[in-house]
Structures are given as structure tokens and as C-alpha cells.
């Protein structure tokens, strides 16, 4: 299982990640990449910080977090960094993450990275949609929110275009909900289940 997955929680999904998304546009209004910040849930963060501190001592925590960032990046790379992008009906290819960091902030571990597109794309013709999800739904990925309301900075666009954004909640089929509910700590869902529980970020630019 990916390093992101905690192994001690009994419910399914076994942990969660709060994300913030910032779209990076160039001067011509082309999307170059997605700047993502993932905050691990408090329990898994505590486990990670304790393990890294015990392994290297307090002075080595920062170095341990740096090493963890490289391991997370390597594990996510074959899965397109859990990110699925569509411009209209076209699925967009993503590039390789080379800019990333891991830090401990407010008692939670945060993985921050820039996910580039394979090639920049104009956003003033079609609506961009994205989902960020663990294919096996071992982890639930949601935008940072206050209760059920996403925070203002959970999805923003960096650039000169006039864009509207919204975050659509997941609406899984009851059969998928039942499938997820029947999984326990020893089970692993078939890849693809997580997509049905993913929120959708939507961006439309003039």
C-alpha cells in the first residue's frame, strides 16, 4: 500500500486527506500546472511525526520529512499523483513532479507539490474538471472545508483570466456505497472505486 495509507484505523476509508488546489496559468491564459497541498489526517500525521522523530531525533525531523516527500512522490507517480484532469471531454496528460516538499504544520503533515501538465492548455474554450482520489478508496480525499462548505482557498486560479470555480460533492451510486461499506482493514478495493467518491473541481474561464 502507498506510504500515505495509515494501517491502524478500523473504518473504511482508513484515513483522509484535505486538499487545496491552485491552478497556475501563464500570461496567455494557458494552464501550466496544478499546485496542490495535501494535509494528512491528524491521527496519521501523529504516527508519522512520532516515527520520524524516534528514527532521527528532533533535529532530524526535517530531514526525515524531506526523505518522506521523495518516497511519497515516487509512490504516487505511477498513479498520475491521484489526479484526473479533463478539458471538456478530453483527458489531459500530466507530467512528472519535480517540485515538492513535506512539512509539519499545526500538528499535521502536509505534502505540497506542483503537478505540471504534459503541455500547457488554453482554458478559455472549455470547462476544466478534475478529481483527486485514491483509486482503491483506502484514503478519502476532500477539499479543505468548514463543515460541508469548501474554504475560499480550497480552489483558486492564479492568472489574469476571469474564472469561476466550484467544487461539486461526490454522489456515489448506492451500490458503490455498499461496496465500500463492506470493506474492512484486511480488504483492498478494486482500483477505480475511489473515483465514485471523489469531489469534482470545476473551472470555467472567459
- Chain centroid, CA 5 distance in Å: 13
Owner of C-alpha cell 504534459: 118
The pLDDT, as a whole number, for residue 139 is 86
The pLDDT, as a whole number, for residue 187 is 56
Half-sphere exposure of residue 63: CA atoms within 13 angstroms, side-chain side: 7
Stated pTM of the model: 0.86
Mean pLDDT, contiguous 10-residue spans, the chain (206 residues): 41 80 94 97 91 74 89 95 96 97 94 97 92 88 93 92 93 70 60 82 94
Burial level of 166, CB count in 10 A (0-12/13-18/19+)? exposed
Whether 133 and 84 have beta carbons less than 8 Å apart is answered as: yes
32-49: b or e for each residue (b if 16 or more CB lie within 10 Å)?
Answer: bbbbbbbbbbeebbebbb
Please, what sign has the CA dihedral across residues 35, 152, 41, 133?
negative
The pLDDT, as a whole number, for residue 122 is 94
Amino acid at each position: 500500500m502507498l506510504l500515505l495509507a495509515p494501517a491502524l484505523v478500523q473504518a473504511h476509508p482508513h484515513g483522509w486527506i484535505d486538499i487545496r488546489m491552485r491552478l497556475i496559468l501563464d500570461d496567455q491564459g494557458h494552464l501550466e500546472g496544478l499546485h496542490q497541498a495535501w494535509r494528512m489526517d491528524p491521527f496519521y500525521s501523529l504516527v508519522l511525526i512520532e516515527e520520524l522523530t524516534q528514527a532521527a531525533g528532533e533535529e532530524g525531523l526535517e530531514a526525515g520529512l524531506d526523505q518522506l516527500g521523495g518516497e511519497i512522490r515516487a509512490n504516487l507517480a505511477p498513479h498520475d499523483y491521484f489526479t484526473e484532469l479533463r478539458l471538456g471531454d478530453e483527458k489531459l496528460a500530466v507530467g512528472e513532479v519535480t517540485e515538492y516538499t513535506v512539512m509539519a504544520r499545526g500538528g499535521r503533515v502536509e505534502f505540497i507539490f506542483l503537478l505540471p501538465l504534459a503541455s500547457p492548455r488554453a482554458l478559455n474554450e472549455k470547462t476544466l474538471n478534475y478529481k483527486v482520489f485514491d483509486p482503491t478508496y483506502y484514503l478519502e480525499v476532500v477539499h479543505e472545508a468548514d463543515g460541508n462548505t469548501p474554504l475560499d482557498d480550497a480552489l483558486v486560479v492564479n492568472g489574469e483570466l476571469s474564472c469561476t470555480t466550484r467544487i461539486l460533492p461526490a454522489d456515489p451510486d448506492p451500490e458503490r456505497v455498499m461496496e465500500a461499506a463492506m470493506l474492512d482493514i484486511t480488504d483492498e478495493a478494486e482500483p477505480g472505486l475511489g473515483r465514485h467518491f471523489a469531489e469534482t473541481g470545476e473551472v470555467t474561464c472567459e
